[in-house]
Structure formats: structure tokens, C-alpha cells
Structure 1
């Protein structure tokens, strides 16, 4: 692993600010005495003022959709019934490690976030939802070190792509399988045990804790993202952690919103990358012009992309975007909850057609079929898995039409010698 590092707003590697790097990115696990000394677990006497501060800072959720955190908190606070707060640490995206890293190394920051949101919503119960065993041990240890006044349960689930979807989270905590359910109702209306429930990503909760303990830095806290950076290339002119002649180790980085993706690529050894897969498997493939894309929800959305969970996978000259899209689609098809017929059929069709295309065996109408499916499938499943597959196809066709056309005649060298499409290329170890 390249490691965990922070990036200054002007592009220089280093400490963004002591409160962020010291609280988040220093090595080792969080020490409760140091956390308390730094202002952690401080009494909250004015919950509404903290909620206003979160809104003013513009904090968005870090689970994928980027929804304004204050709006979500207010919806749960204003719903009838005694609320429940869930820290969602189940990372379905194989290319993301930030949530598991936080739970393993900064459990007190996450638990403090639960406490604060519970005070803002009037909740009497909290829950940490995860699938990672080391993270589970760290959370239990933190709970024993500083027992909360709030009841906080730890619920472990099996790791799957859909297990972190908010209705799947509620269903699993209530004793069922970690599978999405039809909406409405949304969890903020009827969630765990029928109560209004806030399902918040663990990074969102950790940033709420930092906004409370360091109000003077609220804008910096809200405007900074943890991102996972990976890719297989060697990267000429690489930055920290690159190994000449070998693949570049992944990195977890804390970076300000708006940072150009080229800056991140250069810093972590992917200076030769020619494309990027954004948002884990949700944000699509992007080729020419990707270097100027900003790490920002609105900027990426305007470019037809999505930040998602903040995972970036860089493609180098030896990586074929057609093959990468095929492997991503095959992974998504295998991860389908198999509850929606349109998802089973749609992801299967996308995966089979892309795999045939990558191997140079696709029919003459394959590109037309992919175009049609990429337009028809979004929004038809119970969760975002089908949308992810459709976006990968749409962006492949938009950004790499020549490569797609060439594969209709014959497989390229990279695809001809590719390993089975098991999603292994996207999997990142936790630092």
C-alpha cells in the first residue's frame, strides 16, 4: 500500500491541517485519551446550532449520492417517532477502503459522530453496521474504552455490493437478509423497527464530529474527501510509493474538493494513465479530458460522471477500456441481489455482450444493443447496481468509440490475454 496521505489545496503533498491529518491520517489506531484531549466527546448543549453549522459548511454525505447531510438529519428529526442512527461502514464498492480504514483506525471519531447526530435527531439508539472483522474489533474496543450513554449496537453482515444500500442495511439490522427493498418508504420515514432512521456513511459521521470539535475549520472539514486511488500501471515519473517496473500500490488520500484528477494521478504513481474509472464502479469510464476533471460532485456530474464513494481506478496504456468495462459489468452481474428481474436480465446482457466484444466475438449489432440498454436500464432496479452497469456502458461508448469499433473485428492483445472477469483488478487492500 502506498499509504495514507494528505494533500494541500495548492497541490503540494503534506498536511492539509493539523486537525485533519492529526486526527485522521497519522499512523496507528485512535487513542481515546488523545481524542478526549483534542475535544472529542464534548457535551452538546445546542443541537440545532450544530445542525445549522453542518448546513452552512455544505457537508454532503460520503456514501455515494452526495446528498446534503443537514437535510437528511432534519428529515429524521422531524419524522414522528423515536429515531435510530446507523453508521454505515459496509463498503460494497471493491475499489474503496476509506470506511473500513476509519472504523479500524478512527472508531472514536465515528462513534462521536453517532452521539452528535443522535442528539440532533432525538435518537435513543445507534448502530454500527459493517462486514469487516478488524473494524468490528476496533469498534467494540472503542465502546469499552468510552462507554456511551446512548445504546449502540454493532451489526455485522456479509460483504456484498448491495449490502450497504440503505434499505438493505435496515433489513439486515431487523434480522433479515442484507438485500434492498422497494421504496417508498425510505428509512427516514420507516426504518429500523419501523422507526425513522438515519443511515449515514461513517465518513459523514466522522466529519460531523470534526466540525463540532473544530468549528473554525468547518468549511475545510466539509470540503475534504477521503479517496481511494488504485490502478495496475507502473507510472513514469511517479510520486510516493511507486515501484519502477511494477504495479503501483494503492493509496488512501485526503484531498480538497476541486482537486484535478491529474494531480492525484501524478502524486500516487499513475502519471502515465490514459483513462480513469470513477466512483468505484458507479461513476463510469472517462478517457480524453479526464485529467481536467475536478474531484467534486457537481463538476463530475456536469461531465456525465459521478464521484460516488470516492474510489478512482486509473487505466494505463496496457489496460484496455473495453476489457475493463467487461470485467466491471461481469462483477456487477455476479453481485446482483437477484430480486429484480430487470436487474438480473439487464446486468447479464451487459456482461455477456461486453465480454463477447472484448474477445472480438460480438455481433454486428452489439454496439447498437449496448447503446439502447444504456439508455433504457437506469432507474429500473431497486438499488444502484443496474445504474452502475448502464453508466459503465454509456461512458465506454461515449469516450472510446474507436476502441469499441475495433473490438467488433478482433480482440486486442490486452483482452486476448486477460484473466477471468472476477473483479480482482478493482479490489484494494485496507492500509
Structure 2
């Protein structure tokens, strides 16, 4: 489908005339850049994010991507731009994979100006993609957040960033403020600590009143009383939005699969030589992704796909699967937060699951019994099984059903999903432990249960 006239302004098109800026603006004009080739990766990061990266300055950012196109205008113009996002089929990169255009369209008709919140909390220890993106390309995220604000008529942008990268994002926002680049106020706030602090409703509550309490309901599309509606988007999603507004849906869809276009940032860790964050096309085979991080065929026992709310899968079955929602469905998994953790064959999957479950039980927001007592009981039973004591798996499965869908938020649900997959994948290992044996030769934990320090 052809792009409506003026709906998307590429970097080259933006240079065809003088850049429109307020008289007091000192935002530097973009240098001459070409539309990136459809096969050129990475799109989001200045370079493959393994090892040290530094934040791009505003001038460097403009030199690579060109000027941010204006997404303001009357209702019809903004709807045409949102239609372009829909044609790109951009979905959220924070885990839920909700269509971005649906959120934008809902907020564009809000009774009062909404607030755009960029979620860069990333409280999961296994994931680093959002931190690496915010540190290495903060201006691309800020571009996307401001585009989202213009598309929805928002009055303010709030960037909630992990504390490890908050300063880099704050400096980038200040650089733009001094240059007068952004038409809406941009506020950067350091995220609360903890796994549940990254849940969308917790981010809203943190931004509004400084209490990172997650709830079972999604953030408001319409605020009650005097409270505005909120648009919460993962920072990677906003970075993709900034590029779609520059180059269009066809360019975005030239990577990935027809059903799930684009690229993804993935965190690869565990039994790989070079753990880190990589940008890949959606649909790349899981085994090929691990080769990027230096797994050269070393024996693997299982993969944890999607993060700590994800799914364990037998490595031999999962390596040939495409990393996409459709491709991973064969293993009962999904891309989730963009994490693939490789468990070596020398490690005990039951012991690893017990460690992760204890961590998740300890990460409870403390708001309800299913989380406070249910997850603790499940973790305790798994710890006993890992230690060789008797384990009542029938009772554990019943407890998983008891906590699912009954919490004050989705924390018990995500934990139960991961544990249920472990009971299937590590069934033979659990049987060995009931007889006082273990197939593993490695006794140390593989996956992190504390915030990783970025390189």
C-alpha cells in the first residue's frame, strides 16, 4: 500500500527544505545521510553491543539518522502516520508484543492530553537489551518518545530508566533541552529497583507517585478525574517507532518475517563465550543466534527462552526454531523480553530452576497471598527436590494452578509458567533426584539472580 503523501518523512526527504525550528532553537541540523539499506544491521545500535559502548552525542545521532521528522499536525494527519505504524506491524518489545498502533490510536482520541512513559526499567537480571540501548543510543529512544507524544497529543514524556544508565539518558535529554529540539517537556527518572518494578502498571505508579506497585490491570487508557491517560511503551519499541517515522513501513518490514517484521534486540547468555546484546532479524534461528555469541556446538542441556517469565525448552528441539512468536510456539515459548539463556549439559536444570524460583519468590511486591506464600512454598519444594529430598510434584502442580490468575499482579503467573515448563523439560532429572542422584557435574549457578554490571 502506498504511503500517504507526507505521512512518513525520510532522512533524505527532511533535507529537501529548511528544517522548521523555533527561533530560539539551537538544535544542530542533520548532516547528509542516506536511507539505510534494507539488509544493513544493526539498525538500532551504533555497533554490535558486545563490550563497551559509549553514548552517541546529539550531533553524532543526527549524523547517522538525520533529523527527527515532525509527527504533529491535525487529527487526520496523525491518523495517517499511525496507519503507517500499523502497516509496519510494529509490536511491543517489552514482552507482551501488543500492537503499537492500537495503543497510539486509542490515546490519540483521549479527552485530555495523555502522558507518554518510556519503560526502560529492565529489572530482570538476565536481560540487558534496554540498558545497552539507552546507554548507546539514547537519542533514538528520545526521538521515538517525542514522536509518540506528537502522535497522541501528549503533554509530557517521562523516561523511566534503569539506574545503571539513568545518567546517560538524563545527559542526552539535557543536551536536547538546551538545543531546543523537543516540542514537549521530557523528564528522566531513575527507575525503582526490583523485578516487579518493570511491570507496566508499576512504572506508571512510580512515575505518578513514587510507588512501584504493580497491579493486575493494564495502565489506564483513560484517566479518572483529573489524572491523564498514559501510554507506556518499552524503550526498544520507541526506538523502532523513530525509525519507522523516518524511513517508512516498507523499509521496516524488509527485515524479519512477513508476519513479524523488523529486528529485535536479544540478550544471549549462559553457555556462550561472548554473552551480551545482539540485534537480529525476527525469525533468525535460535541456534544461529547462539553462534553469534560464541556457542560453537558445545553440548547444551536446555534453553530458557523469553526470560525468567519465559519457558524452558530442550536445547536439541529449540535450536532449529525461528526466534519469533510463531516459530517458538512449537516449543510452547515466545520471544518475551528477548532473552535466550543457554544451560550447559553439565548443569542441573532442576537446581537452576529452584534458584530462579527462589529469586522470583523473593522479588514479590508483597501485595497478596498467592505471591507471598504460594511462590515461597513452590520455591521451598523445588529446593528440597534439588537437594535430593522427597518432592511431591502433584502438589507443586496444584500450587501452580492455585497461584495463576489469582495474584494482585501477573508476577505469580509468570513464575508459574517458567516452573511448569521446567517440570516438563527436567522430568528425568527430577526422577534422578528422588533416588539421590544428579546428572550434573557443575555445582555453581549459571543464570544471574542479581543485577548484572554492564561491561
TM-score by length of 1: 0.85
Provide the residue aligned with 1:202 in structure 2: 235
Map of 1:21-420 to 2, 5 A cutoff?
A: 23=46, 25=48, 27-37=53-63, 38-44=65-71, 46-133=77-164, 135-147=165-177, 148-183=182-217, 186-190=219-223, 194-215=227-248, 216-220=250-254, 222-231=261-270, 233=271, 248-270=273-295, 271-272=297-298, 273-287=300-314, 288-363=316-391, 366-412=392-438, 414=440, 417-418=443-444
Quote the Cα distance in structure 1 between the aligned partners of 2:39 and 2:424: 36
Q: 1:192 to 1:408 in 2, by over 3 A?
A: farther
Q: 1:63 to 1:19 in 2, by over 3 A?
A: closer
The alpha-carbon deviation at position 176 of structure 1 amounts to: 3.3
Quote the Cα distance in structure 1 between the aligned partners of 2:226 and 2:201: 12
Once structures 1 and 2 are overlaid, which stretch shifts more, 39-48 or 345-354? 39-48
Q: Secondary structure at the match of 1:338?
A: coil
The alpha-carbon deviation at position 187 of structure 1 amounts to: 2.3
RMSD: 2.5
Q: 1:214 to 1:361 in 2, by over 3 A?
A: same
Provide the residue aligned with 1:17 in structure 2: 40
Q: 1:425 to 1:168 in 2, by over 3 A?
A: closer
Conserved? CA contact 2:85–2:241, under 8 Å: yes
Conserved? CA contact 1:47–1:120, under 8 Å: yes
Unaligned runs of 5+ in 1: 1-14, 236-247
The alpha-carbon deviation at position 263 of structure 1 amounts to: 1.0
Provide the residue aligned with 1:424 in structure 2: 448
The alpha-carbon deviation at position 369 of structure 1 amounts to: 1.5
Conserved? CA contact 2:318–2:331, under 8 Å: no
Quote the Cα distance in structure 2 between the aligned partners of 1:387 and 1:182: 11
Q: 1:275 to 1:60 in 2, by over 3 A?
A: same
Once structures 1 and 2 are overlaid, which stretch shifts more, 374-383 or 319-328? 374-383
Conserved? CA contact 1:278–1:284, under 8 Å: yes
> Any idea what the Cα deviations from partners look like across 1:370-425, whole Å, max 9, x if unmatched?
22233343222233321222112211122221111111221526489446x9x636
> Any idea what the Cα deviations from partners look like across 1:338-387, whole Å, max 9, x if unmatched?
10111112211111011111110124xx1111222333432222333212
Quote the Cα distance in structure 1 between the aligned partners of 2:67 and 2:283: 29
Conserved? CA contact 2:192–2:206, under 8 Å: no
Q: Secondary structure at the match of 1:274?
A: strand
Conserved? CA contact 2:301–2:346, under 8 Å: no
Quote the Cα distance in structure 2 between the aligned partners of 1:381 and 1:355: 23
The alpha-carbon deviation at position 42 of structure 1 amounts to: 2.4
Quote the Cα distance in structure 1 between the aligned partners of 2:422 and 2:226: 42
Q: Secondary structure at the match of 2:116?
A: strand
TM-score by length of 2: 0.81
Conserved? CA contact 1:166–1:187, under 8 Å: no
The alpha-carbon deviation at position 68 of structure 1 amounts to: 0.8
The alpha-carbon deviation at position 25 of structure 1 amounts to: 4.1
Q: 1:265 to 1:22 in 2, by over 3 A?
A: closer
Q: Secondary structure at the match of 1:265?
A: helix
Unaligned runs of 5+ in 2: 1-37, 256-260
Aligned length, in residue pairs: 397
